Amino acid sequence: MTAAPLILKLTNPDVTKDLDLSPAELRAVLDLAADVKRSPGLYRHSLSGKSIALLFEKPSLRTRMTFELAIQQLGGFFVGYEGLIGKREPLKDMARNLDRWVDGIVARTFLQKTIDGLAQWSKAPVINALSDMFHPCQALADMQTLREHFGALHGLKLAFVGDGNNVANSLMLCAARLGVDFSLATPPNYEASAAIITQARELATATGANITITTDPAEAARSAHAIYTDVWASMGAENEAAERRTAFSEYQVDDDLFTHTAPGAIFMHCLPAKRGEEVTDSIIESARSVVFDQAENRLHAQKALLLMLLS
């Protein structure tokens, strides 16, 4: 039987945000994700005897299913918890219970500070499975998908059209460090945080990636290899759905927007999608759409992350 290759251990004990992975580690996660995808059998005992807690304050299909499957397919166990963290008992108590039982914690929270608090109080590593600020696991799968589709990442242009929110933040921070040009078109008042844009631009100086911020979807899409979008009203912002539909009405990804891209440009979405809002049915169902490749790669990218954090 062939043994699983030696796996690089991550420097940071937690992945609470994209920047917890260095650029070299980011590339190593993508390489390992590709190998895990190619040869899953090599890794089926790699987390043998490890237990992981999955905490979800918000609904999930992809993240939850793929973490549950990833852990089991690597030989580990998981336990699940649904509910607000820090409500029934202090967050610091919950973290210090969990770390007596499990080897890792995966948490989807409303607030980034809840993830940061878990990481502060738990001796077991914590992985961000989506907060209001970041979606690092999504960005890993998306970079894996882009690399598979185009063969290499450096020099690609990824356009994000829509809400300057968690998914856009994570993509921007990963793109900047992988040499992928990133253009973001948001309506006024829905921009990404100025601090994250500044950080991405600083990081991009090392790779030569261009980070473009605009309110014009056509400008963002110009010569792009991929257009990415996300829902207009994220989980927790559902009560703003009506006003957001008005604010984002010019930001729908449709056939017209793809007239500005490079030939062969693909459509990306983290899912769940609202057809008729951020994307037309014709685009998400078209041959350009790689949304299910992205969803598939959540499994492989998260396996790689778990292996590099825990094995």
**Site for ligand NVA, rule CB under 6 A:** 130, 165-167, 230-231, 234-235, 270
Judged by CB, which is closer to ligand CP: 71, or 270?
Answer: 270
Partner from ligand NVA, ligand CP, none contacting 247, C-beta within 5 to 8 A by type: none
User: How buried is residue 123: exposed, middle or buried, by Cβ count under 10 Å (0-12/13-18/19+)?
Assistant: exposed
**What angle, 0 to 180 degrees and rounded to 10, lies between the N-to-C axes of helices 23-38 and 166-178?**
100
Judged by CB, which is closer to ligand NVA: 146, or 231?
Answer: 231
From edge to edge, which strands make up the β-sheet containing 104-108? Answer: 77-82, 51-56, 104-108, 126-128
Judged by CB, which is closer to ligand NVA: 47, or 226?
Answer: 226
* 3-state class (DSSP) for residue 34: helix
Closest residue to ligand NVA, Cβ-based?
234
What distance in Å separates the CA atoms of residue 144 and residue 140, rounded to the nearest whole number?
6
Place of tokens 């300057």: 164
Partner from ligand CP, ligand NVA, none contacting 230, C-beta within 5 to 8 A by type: ligand NVA
Partner from ligand NVA, ligand CP, none contacting 61, C-beta within 5 to 8 A by type: ligand CP
Given the rule CB under 6 A, which residues bind ligand CP? 60-64, 130, 138, 270-271
Partner from ligand CP, ligand NVA, none contacting 234, C-beta within 5 to 8 A by type: ligand NVA
Bridge partners, residue 160, by sequence: 184, 228
Judged by CB, which is closer to ligand NVA: 152, or 241?
Answer: 241
Partner from ligand NVA, ligand CP, none contacting 145, C-beta within 5 to 8 A by type: none
Nearest distance in Å: CB 272, ligand CP: 6
Judged by CB, which is closer to ligand CP: 62, or 244?
Answer: 62
Partner from ligand NVA, ligand CP, none contacting 166, C-beta within 5 to 8 A by type: ligand NVA
Nearest distance in Å: CB 163, ligand NVA: 7
Q: How far apart, in Å, are the Cα atoms of 215 and each of 162, 171, 251, 311?
A: 9, 18, 9, 44
Nearest distance in Å: CB 62, ligand CP: 4
Half-sphere exposure of 70 (CA within 13 A, CB side): 27
What distance in Å separates the CA atoms of residue 118 and residue 108, rounded to the nearest whole number?
11
Q: Which residues are catalytic?
A: 108, 135, 138, 230, 270, 298
Nearest distance in Å: CB 60, ligand CP: 3
Judged by CB, which is closer to ligand NVA: 41, or 236?
Answer: 236
What distance in Å separates the CA atoms of residue 254 and residue 132, rounded to the nearest whole number?
27
Nearest distance in Å: CB 85, ligand CP: 17
The DSSP letter of residue 213 is: E
Strand intervals (E) in 65-180:
77-82, 104-108, 126-128, 157-161
Give the DSSP H or E segment for 28.
helix 23-38
Nearest distance in Å: CB 203, ligand NVA: 22
